[in-house]
Amino acid sequence: MEIISLKDAKEKGLPTYYTGKPCKYGHVSERQVSNRRCRECAYNIQRESRREEKAERKKIPYESRPGRKLLHGVGINDADYKISNIDGEGKFCPYYNTWSGMLRRCYSADTYKTYSECRTIDAWHRFSNFKKWMEKQNWEGCDLDKDILYKNNKLYSPETCAFVSPSVNRFLIQCGSEGSTKSLGTYWNKRKKKYTSCCSNPFSGKVEYLGEYHYQWEAHEAWRKRKHELACMYADLETDPRIVQALRTRFAK
């Protein structure tokens, strides 16, 4: 780099000059005409200032930081890394996807009616808390389930939630509204004037015919027994003792 004195730099209207000599901190670089500070020192001061500003921002509660919004009115995204467009493929962080989906089901205005009374524990309003829990779970390729361990549960928490395979999740979804459980697995055959019982077998992919009955409760009982057998087959494939127990007892009489 060409040597140029402070005097010559001022005469030429240049912003910097170069002496070729180290500053008091040992940097050999251009110096600013305005304050005679070497550029390397100026960069270091800027970096330190940014670090201090970042540390001060962290002291401010997330919800009070300018420009930050709560996800679905409650969620605090305090991730200290990029959550979207991972590896340039447009993908979201799987931890964030699961967390935001949970909050959407509980607190979004357009949520399904079946989630109308659902909520999460307060600690899970903060993304980092949920992520710490999820990292310890066997979650890959699985769905977050809130009521496999406790039927009709409305609270998302570490004690009530588990990750299950999509197949198990679909298996547990029952048709019919609350209060009409005795009609599950049954329909009225007008021609034969009897109730027909049937059950979908997720292992064969077929709907099994279980017979015809004079009373709906009899048809439902046939469905329940077959459903219990299939649930036990799923239980044999699980490794989480909580899920094994839940599957073996879900349809037991």
Mean pLDDT score across all residues of the chain: 88
pLDDT value for 9: 86
pLDDT value for 108: 86
Residue 166 lies in a domain: no
Domain count, the chain: 2
Out of 28-42, 50-64, 114-128, 200-214, which region has the weakest mean confidence (pLDDT)?
50-64
Residue 237 identity? L
Q: Which of 59, 74, 93 marks a domain boundary? A: 59
Percentage of the residues of the chain whose pLDDT score is greater than 70: 90
Model confidence at 177, in pLDDT bands (50, 70, 90)? Answer: very low
What are the residues whose beta carbons fall under 8 Å from the beta carbon of 38, sequence distance 6 or more? 23, 25, 27, 29, 30, 31, 32
What are the residues whose beta carbons fall under 8 Å from the beta carbon of 86, sequence distance 6 or more? 92, 93
Residue 49 lies in a domain: yes
pLDDT value for 176: 41
Residue 50 lies in a domain: yes
Give Cα separations from 193 to 187, 212, 216, 221, 223 (angstroms). 10, 9, 11, 18, 19
pLDDT for 222 beyond 80? yes
Residue 73 lies in a domain: no
How far apart CA 139 and CA 98 sit, in angstroms, is 10
How far apart CA 252 and CA 240 sit, in angstroms, is 19
Q: Read off the tokens for 153.
A: 């549960």
Model confidence at 178, in pLDDT bands (50, 70, 90)? Answer: very low
Percentage of the residues of the chain whose pLDDT score is greater than 90: 56
Tell me which of 205 and 64 has the higher pLDDT. 205
Residue 42 lies in a domain: yes
Inter-residue contact 103 to 109 (CB < 8 Å): no
Residue 111 lies in a domain: no
pTM for the model stands at: 0.68
Residue 21 lies in a domain: yes
Domain region containing 190: 173-253
| Residue 55, phi then psi, degrees to nearest 5 | -65, -40
Residue 240 lies in a domain: yes
